[in-house]
C-alpha cells in the first residue's frame, strides 16, 4: 500500500475542475515537481488545467541563480508559456505585472522550507495582495513543511522591520505549510495591505501529519535553492541563516552551506565552548574549510560543523543564538555584523532576519540571547490560530 504524502498538485491533476478558471497564471519554479519528477507545469497542462502564463520567484524558474537574483527569461522553452519574473516586484508594480499576463486566476506551487526569512512565502504574500486588489482568485497547491509542523521557534517579526525576508509578524520557524500560511496571511495581513482578503482556495494534501519530516513523506527532495541542497540544510537554516547577517561565512561556496560556519579569526575554542553548553540534539566539530565563492572566497577559514544527533530535540534558532553569543564573548574585537544584505541597505541585515534589533543589541551587550526565546518555543503552531491549520 502506498503510504506517501499526496501533494495538492496531484489532487488538481486528478480533479482539474477544483479551480474554476479559464486562464491561470502558475507561480512556480523547479521545486514544483510531481512524485515522478515531472514538472507540475507539464502535468497540470496535460491534465487539462488551463495554465496560460508562468510567474517565477527568487532564483528563477530553473533555479540557476544565487540569493538575491532571478533569471532574465521571458518564456519557458519547454511549454512555450510566457514567463513573468516577480522577484523585487511588489505593490502597484506587481499589480501591473499580473494584469499584463491576461489571466483570471493565480495558482501557486512552490516548496517552502519552513523559515520566515525564506522568500518564497513573501512572493506568495505579495501576490495574494495583488490578487485581492485585482479581484483575481488565488489557489495554493499545498506541499509539506520539510521541518514538520509540530515545532515553532523564534519571536514574531516587529512590523517596523518588515522587508522581503519578513513582511508581517510570524515566527522564525513558523510550523505551517504554504497552504496554512496562505490562510493565515490572507486573514491577518492581506486585508491591511489590500483593503480586503483575496478569494483563496487551498488544494490540500493527503497523508501528511504535523510530526512528519520530509523524509517521511515518500516524496523526492528537490533542493529549494542552490544553497539548500538537503533536508539537513533546511533543518539548520532557521538558525544558521542568521549568519548571513554577520561577518562569518555561513558555508556558501561549500557542499554543506548553513552547516559549516566559520571565519578567518575563529580557532578551536569556539567548538569546545559550544559543546560545553550541552545544546540539545546537536554537537559541534572543529573544522577548517575554503569557500569557493561568496564571503571569504578562496580563504582558509576555521569554525564549526553542526552535527544533528536528534532532530526532534534540536532547536536551530536556540542553537544559533548561542553560537552568536559565544562568538561575541570569544572574539569581541573580530566578530561583527553586516550593515546590509542582498537587495537591502540602510540597516543591519541580521535585524531584518531576526525581525527586530533585539538579537543584535543583546549579543552586543554581552547578555545571553536565550532570554529572547522565552515563551517562543512551542510544539504546536497555535500562534496562527487553529482555524488556519489544515492537517
- Which phi and psi (to 5°) does residue 68 adopt? 80, 15
pLDDT, tens digit (0-9, with 9 covering 90-100), for 14-64: 999 899 999 999 999 999 999 999 999 999 999 999 999 999 987 778 866
Here the cell at position 116 is 520566515
Here the cell at position 286 is 572543529
Distances (CA, A) of 100 to 59, 93, 119, 244: 22, 11, 23, 35
Average pLDDT, the chain: 94
What is residue 344's predicted lDDT score, i.e. its pLDDT?
Answer: 65
**Alpha-carbon 63 to chain mean position:** 15
What is the Cα–Cα distance from 358 to 374, expressed in whole angstroms? Answer: 13
What is the Cα–Cα distance from 5 to 33, expressed in whole angstroms? Answer: 14
pLDDT, average across residues 154-179: 97
pLDDT at 341 over 90: no
What is the Cα–Cα distance from 246 to 296, expressed in whole angstroms? Answer: 12
pLDDT, tens digit (0-9, with 9 covering 90-100), for 359-374: 999 999 999 998 999 9
Here the cell at position 17 is 475542475
pLDDT at 1 over 50: no
Here the cell at position 265 is 579569526
> Considering Cα of 29, then 122, then 142, then 379, what sign does the dihedral take?
positive
What is the Cα–Cα distance from 211 to 224, expressed in whole angstroms? Answer: 21
pLDDT at 73 over 80: no
What is the Cα–Cα distance from 10 to 40, expressed in whole angstroms? Answer: 9
Closest CA to 287 of 301, 297, 299, 276: 301
Closest CA to 28 of 196, 235, 178: 178
B/e letters for 308-344, b = 16+ CB within 10 Å, e = fewer, are: beebeebbbbbbbbbbbbbbbebbeeebebbeebebb
Could you tell me where the DSSP H helices lie in 189-228? 190-194
Label residue 347 by pLDDT band (50, 70, 90).
confident
Structural contact between residues 231 and 213, judged by C-beta atoms closer than 8 angstroms: yes
pLDDT, average across residues 181-196: 98
What is residue 294's predicted lDDT score, i.e. its pLDDT?
Answer: 93
Question: In the sheet that 200-203 helps form, which strands lie side by side, from edge to edge?
Answer: 83-85, 51-56, 24-28, 105-109, 138-141, 200-203
Give 26's DSSP letter.
E
Closest CA to 18 of 204, 184, 249: 204
- Which phi and psi (to 5°) does residue 378 adopt? -130, 165
What is the Cα–Cα distance from 208 to 356, expressed in whole angstroms? Answer: 33
pLDDT at 342 over 90: no
pLDDT, tens digit (0-9, with 9 covering 90-100), for 202-257: 999 999 999 999 999 999 999 999 899 999 999 999 999 999 999 999 999 999 99
What is the Cα–Cα distance from 223 to 230, expressed in whole angstroms? Answer: 6
pLDDT at 154 over 70: yes
What is residue 58's predicted lDDT score, i.e. its pLDDT?
Answer: 78
pLDDT, tens digit (0-9, with 9 covering 90-100), for 78-135: 999 999 999 878 899 999 999 999 999 999 999 999 999 999 999 999 999 999 999 9
What is the Cα–Cα distance from 391 to 382, expressed in whole angstroms? Answer: 13
What is residue 212's predicted lDDT score, i.e. its pLDDT?
Answer: 96
Amino acid at each position: 500500500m502506498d503510504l506517501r504524502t499526496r501533494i495538492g498538485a496531484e489532487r488538481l491533476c486528478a480533479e482539474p475542475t477544483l479551480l474554476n478558471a479559464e486562464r491561470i497564471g502558475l507561480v512556480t519554479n523547479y521545486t514544483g515537481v510531481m512524485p515522478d519528477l515531472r514538472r507540475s507545469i507539464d502535468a497540470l497542462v496535460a491534465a487539462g488545467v488551463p495554465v496560460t502564463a508562468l510567474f517565477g520567484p527568487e532564483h528563477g524558474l530553473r533555479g540557476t541563480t544565487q540569493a538575491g537574483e532571478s533569471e532574465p527569461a521571458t518564456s519557458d522553452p519547454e511549454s512555450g508559456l510566457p514567463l513573468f519574473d516577480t522577484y523585487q516586484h511588489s505593490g502597484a508594480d506587481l499589480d501591473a505585472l499580473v494584469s499584463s499576463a491576461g489571466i483570471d486566476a493565480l495558482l501557486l506551487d512552490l516548496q517552502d522550507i519552513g523559515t520566515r526569512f525564506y522568500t518564497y512565502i513573501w512572493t506568495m504574500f505579495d501576490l495574494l495582495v495583488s490578487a485581492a486588489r485585482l479581484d483575481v482568485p488565488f489557489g495554493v497547491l499545498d506541499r509539506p513543511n520539510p521541518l514538520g509542523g509540530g515545532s515553532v521557534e523564534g519571536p514574531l517579526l516587529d512590523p517596523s522591520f518588515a522587508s522581503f525576508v519578513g513582511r508581517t509578524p510570524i515566527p522564525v520557524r513558523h510550523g505551517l505549510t504554504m497552504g496554512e500560511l496562505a490562510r493565515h496571511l490572507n486573514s491577518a495581513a492581506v486585508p491591511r495591505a489590500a483593503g480586503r482578503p483575496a478569494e483563496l482556495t487551498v488544494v490540500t494534501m493527503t497523508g501528511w501529519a504535523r510530526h512528519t519530516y520530509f523524509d517521511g513523506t515518500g516524496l523526492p527532495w528537490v533542493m529549494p535553492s542552490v544553497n539548500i541542497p538537503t533536508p539537513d540544510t533546511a533543518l539548520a537554516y532557521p538558525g544558521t541563516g542568521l549568519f548571513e547577517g554577520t561577518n562569518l561565512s555561513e558555508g556558501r561556496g561549500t557542499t554543506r552551506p548553513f552547516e559549516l560556519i566559520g571565519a578567518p579569526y575563529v580557532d578551536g575554542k569556539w567548538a569546545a565552548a559550544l559543546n560545553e553548553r550541552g545544546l540539545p540534539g546537536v554537537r559541534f566539530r572543529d573544522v577548517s574549510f575554503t569557500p569557493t565563492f561568496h564571503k571569504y572566497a578562496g580563504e582558509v577559514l576555521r569554525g564549526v560543523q553542526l552535527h544533528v544527533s536528534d532532530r526532534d530535540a534540536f532547536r536551530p534558532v536556540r542553537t544559533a543564538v548561542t553560537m552568536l553569543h559565544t562568538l561575541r564573548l570569544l572574539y569581541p574585537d573580530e566578530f561583527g555584523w553586516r550593515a546590509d544584505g542582498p537587495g537591502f541597505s540602510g540597516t543591519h541585515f541580521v535585524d531584518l532576519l531576526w525581525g527586530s534589533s533585539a538579537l543584535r543589541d543583546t549579543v552586543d551587550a554581552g547578555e545571553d540571547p536565550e532570554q529572547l526565546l522565552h515563551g517562543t518555543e512551542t510544539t504546536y503552531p497555535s500562534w496562527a490560530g487553529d482555524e488556519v491549520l489544515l492537517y
